[in-house]
Structure 1
Amino acid sequence: MAVTIQTAVHTIPSPRQLKWQEMEFYAFIHFGMNTFTGREWGLGNEAPSLFKPEGLDASQWVEVCKSAGMTGIILTCKHHDGFCLWPSDYTDYSLKASPWRNGRGDVVRELAEACREHGLKLGIYLSPWDRHEPSYGDSPAYNAYFLNQLRELLTNYGHFFCVWFDGACGEGSNGMVQEYDWDAYYRAIREMQPDAVISICGPDVRWCGNEIGHTRKSEWSVVPETMKDNEIIQAKSQKKDDGTFSQRVDTTDEDLGSRTVLAKVDHVIWYPAEVDVSIRPRWFYHADDDDRVKSVDELIDLYESAVGGNSGLLLNIPPDRRGVIHENDARNLREFGQWLRSTYGNDLAGKANVRASCTRDAVVDAKHVVDGCTDTFWCPPAGMEKAELELDLGEEYVFNRIVLKEHIPSGQRIERFQLEYRQGERWVPLYEGTVVGYKKICRLPQTKARYLRLNITESRINPTLSGFGVYFSGR
């Protein structure tokens, strides 16, 4: 039985998913034993004494992230090697066994306090795969162990916006393959951190499918329900760090939610995409990557394709062995943040007059698309799958970005649109796009105009629009 258009449209985000989407851009901090061994995947037998970030400064991490325009940080509290960046009561393989801070260190707490002080949200990554823990592979015993560690983190460090899982799964030292009890993990999170999204191997946020920043032309948030199990299927999980898993881009997955897809599935869910990518070639710090940090222009491309393509952007920034974000990374991030504020901090459409083709019958006045409020929106009457908006900016402006936003609490509806500007009495084509969703950034040739027009040419039902912004980037 095919999913109807009405069912797809009335599939909407939960309050936690909506809050997550509004965060837009946040950091991954890969830091731990691998930082000091030069590995990406530790073996679980590394000596705790190796961990000695004598200059660790969590406030510097937060300051750099905030300067880049980020809204939160997700910390790798435990990676596959099993070494815990907090003093866990359930293993000796943690900071308790390290001479750093005289065995009383707690990276999670230091970062949590820095985030609270500077107004950033905190999330945690906890690897289910643990190459140190002897019970790994004894599924009931290890699941109990993992839940104990999860509860420690969920109850001792304040509010989390996200719990981030990957599906890496290998054999334990006993030669057995661990079966993760995902449902038990999810229940614990919902009980102790009900506002946190559970990402990637979880029901709230899905992986875009690669770790190189590739984004789809049309990114649907309403997708087949079966997708929520993609990353937790053991047979498909990552079992070795060979450099190929994270680089894959499967072009057969480009269409996840069109009408063609809806006709082939029985159930859909709201399951938005996250793009995770590192500012360096690898996830943990390596000194020989110091001159391979993504440039400001590359960061701009990432931001505009991910956040501007109806996805969240999770950018990894690995602190170095001192325990600080390296100068090269920090410099590029600060410069990117300056660009972000100068570009998107000045909406040329803020005082525009807006005329809709069906204004007299509109459900909400069209002026709401430029009022800067995400809770208000324009929507033509039921039955109008095609609609038209004209903006009068009041005077001619030079611009090269237009940002469109749907009112996603009302579902994802727009399937295709066109942008035009008026030259004399003639309307000139400017841009053609497909889905909009939470945010669509349209990158344009430099254009000078006073009048703009949006033609929504295909929509699932009468469309909504909560934002129409016009901007200029000097780069």
Structure 2
Amino acid sequence: MFIHLNMATFEEREWGDPTLSPTLFDPKHLDTDQWARAAKSANMGYACLTTKHHDGFCLWPTKTGSANVMQSSYPHDVVRRYVDSFRKAGLGVCLYFSILDLRQDIRARTVTPEKIALIKAQIAELLTGYGPLTALILDGWNASWSRISYAELPYREIYDLVKSLQPDCLLTDHNAGSYPGTALYYTDIKQYEQHAGQKIPPDSPVPSQSGTTLQSDWFWKKAYPTSELASARTIVEDWLKPFNENHCNLILNVAPNRDGRFDDNAVARLAEIGRLWKNTGPAPKIGRSVTITTPDLAAGRPAWASASDEAVGPDQAFDDNFRSYWLADRGKEDAWIEVRFDEPVSFNTLSIVEPLHAEGYGDTSRIASYKVEVERDGGWVELVAGTKPAPYQFHEFQRTATRRVRLSVRGKQPGITELGLYDEPR
């Protein structure tokens, strides 16, 4: 269960207005026990509450100076009431936290060390004040609409903070639209926003969850008590069961109303879901996933190629953009791309991503074999190689240092959307 309750609940909006007074927040009959009972009735296993959405209002009494519940018309710790109710019901507890914060002016190109410190302080309050969390779900970061990059606000610093405070807390970022689905890029659990059209790829090999809504939007609207809801059969037959086959959980948003309770129609629909869906316990284990948590060292570096098709040069394989790609010259079956550094760069992980399904490329791999070489003592030394179709390949190895990295590919006019180099802590 996803639970979106915040300032937007009282504004008939999806993002709260950061200029409005916190006194507008007033769920005067808040009933988190009702939420938990409803989740249990649907046979859900865990829930997640929006502790701070994009406008920056905090549902807990933060000591950081940000607007929060103690300045509202409902001066109570909503996070505390939520975690207590769901734990009492035997449900797992997750929290949602937005990196984008319009009240504190934390947005693209305004990030400062002081603002990073504020984010860290708030996350530390949540991870030290409310017991063990199943997951912390982040949003408003590295998205096309927020534009706060992992370089401007370093991902690894936040990741290390979370793991230092709660090693077993999974860190999940809403970034699935930016990265291919075959590795965990900047997340422990792949987070798809189904409500925004993001789809789980067939045969997905990584643990993930897909978020959508029971009502029409994330936050409560005046029409909800009588509006149409997603059908229980759609939720179970079209979402839950197929998702589970792809190692993906459904996280279904139910929006509390302005009293802080679920509407009667939502409660009834959740019970109907529970009659159709019986949670059968943990799914079979899947293999270890490659996890990327550090910046791509090759991004933006000077690039060369054996040859390129028109207007698709090798720089597009090093631009940290999985929608652009380098394409070998037409008619060529052997080609290479190369990235160069001014000084030796150390890395221990690399990714080779072919632009499968990209416009103009097609749905079939064009790479029959590949090898990656590094320059050493004036010559080339093979680092990794493969002879199977390679739309997505990830390799981990002992840390190596070099000034030049070359990827050679063989196939029918092959292409590369990204050759990534990462120095992952181990």
TM range (shorter): 0.5 to 0.7
Structure 2 Cα separation of the partners of residues 279 and 67 of structure 1 = 15
Does residue 232 of structure 2 align to residue 296 of structure 1?
yes
> Are the aligned partners of 2:254 and 2:266 in contact in 1 as well (CA < 8 Å)?
yes
- Aligned AA for 1:288? A
After superposition, the C-alpha distances for 1:195-215 in whole angstroms (9 at most, x for unaligned) are 1111135xxxx74x59xxxxx
After superposition, the C-alpha distances for 1:275-326 in whole angstroms (9 at most, x for unaligned) are 1111111001112234121111122122112223321111111111110111
> Are the aligned partners of 2:141 and 2:148 in contact in 1 as well (CA < 8 Å)?
no
TM-score (norm: length of structure 1): 0.53
Classify 1:83/1:407 alpha carbon distance in 2 versus 1 (closer, same or farther; 3 Å).
Answer: closer
Partner of 2:51: 77
Kindly, what percent of the aligned residue pairs are identical? 28
**Offset at 1:153?**
0.5
Classify 1:249/1:138 alpha carbon distance in 2 versus 1 (closer, same or farther; 3 Å).
Answer: closer
> Are the aligned partners of 2:58 and 2:66 in contact in 1 as well (CA < 8 Å)?
no
Partner of 2:9: 35
Bigger helix fraction = 1
Partner of 2:96: 125
Does residue 99 of structure 2 align to residue 99 of structure 1?
no
Correspondences of 1:143-182 after superposition (within 5 Å): 143-168=116-141, 179-182=152-155
- Aligned AA for 1:33? M
- Paired residues in the alignment total 280
Structure 2 Cα separation of the partners of residues 296 and 186 of structure 1 = 36
**Offset at 1:181?**
2.3
- Aligned AA for 2:217? R
Structure 2 Cα separation of the partners of residues 336 and 315 of structure 1 = 11
> Are the aligned partners of 2:98 and 2:138 in contact in 1 as well (CA < 8 Å)?
yes
Does residue 262 of structure 2 align to residue 325 of structure 1?
yes
> Are the aligned partners of 1:224 and 1:256 in contact in 2 as well (CA < 8 Å)?
no
> Are the aligned partners of 1:128 and 1:180 in contact in 2 as well (CA < 8 Å)?
no
Classify 1:410/1:185 alpha carbon distance in 2 versus 1 (closer, same or farther; 3 Å).
Answer: closer
- Structure with larger RCO (C-alpha < 8 A, sep 6+): 1
Partner of 1:265: none
TM-score (norm: length of structure 2): 0.59
- The runs of 5 or more residues in structure 2 that have no matched partner are 290-426
Match of 2:25 among 41, 46, 51: 51
- Aligned AA for 1:124? L
Classify 1:256/1:200 alpha carbon distance in 2 versus 1 (closer, same or farther; 3 Å).
Answer: farther
Classify 1:146/1:319 alpha carbon distance in 2 versus 1 (closer, same or farther; 3 Å).
Answer: same
Partner of 1:195: 168
After superposition, the C-alpha distances for 1:97-116 in whole angstroms (9 at most, x for unaligned) are 1121xx3x100000111112
| RMSD of equivalent CA atoms | 3.5
Structure 2 Cα separation of the partners of residues 72 and 313 of structure 1 = 11
Structure 1 Cα separation of the partners of residues 198 and 250 of structure 2 = 17
- The runs of 5 or more residues in structure 1 that have no matched partner are 1-26, 211-219, 233-243, 258-269, 346-371, 375-404, 412-475
> Are the aligned partners of 2:51 and 2:96 in contact in 1 as well (CA < 8 Å)?
yes
> Are the aligned partners of 1:129 and 1:169 in contact in 2 as well (CA < 8 Å)?
no
- Aligned AA for 1:130? D
Does residue 81 of structure 2 align to residue 110 of structure 1?
yes
Partner of 2:61: 87
